[in-house]
Amino acid sequence: MPIEQPPLFGIQPVRRPSGTSGQTIQERFEAFHAFNPWVARALERLTADCVAKGFSRIGIGMLFELLRYQYGAATHGDEFALNNSYRSRYVRLLLDDHPEWSPLFEVRTLRAD
């Protein structure tokens, strides 16, 4: 019988909102975030860890891949559907709460709603 490990960075099973077809990326992101607020907290902890280690630049792509890895480790390989289209939205959430991190991330103008 496998020993159950505690979740890393507060990882929980992903909940997928239904009925998102026809919505904008922003609307789909908001629905996903409402169902999975732990994702933003995990990205915040990963960013804080990078800051503590002295990173001068942080890529949200790197943070997404780290979170995907940790999700797989914490859930024994369960699929983690984290939409890459949400990257720019998560950076903006991080910077809303931590404006002091703005020099660490490159933020471009949003191309789609």
pLDDT on residue 25: 87
Q: How many angstroms separate the CA atoms of 10 and 1, rounded?
A: 23
Residue 16 sits at φ, ψ, to 5 deg, of -105, 125
Given a cut of 90, is residue 92 above it in pLDDT? Answer: yes
Return the structure tokens found at 44.
């915040």
pLDDT for residue 36: 84
Which residues are CB-contacts of 64 (< 8 A; sequence separation ≥ 6)?
A: 82, 84, 87
Q: Which residue has the higher pLDDT, 30 or 11?
A: 30
Is the pTM above the cut of 0.85? no
Residue range 40-74, pLDDT digits in tens: 999 999 999 999 999 999 999 999 998 888 777 66
- Of residues 24 and 75, more confidence is placed in 24
| pLDDT exceeds 90 at position 110 | no
Q: How many CB atoms lie within 10 A of CB 29?
A: 21
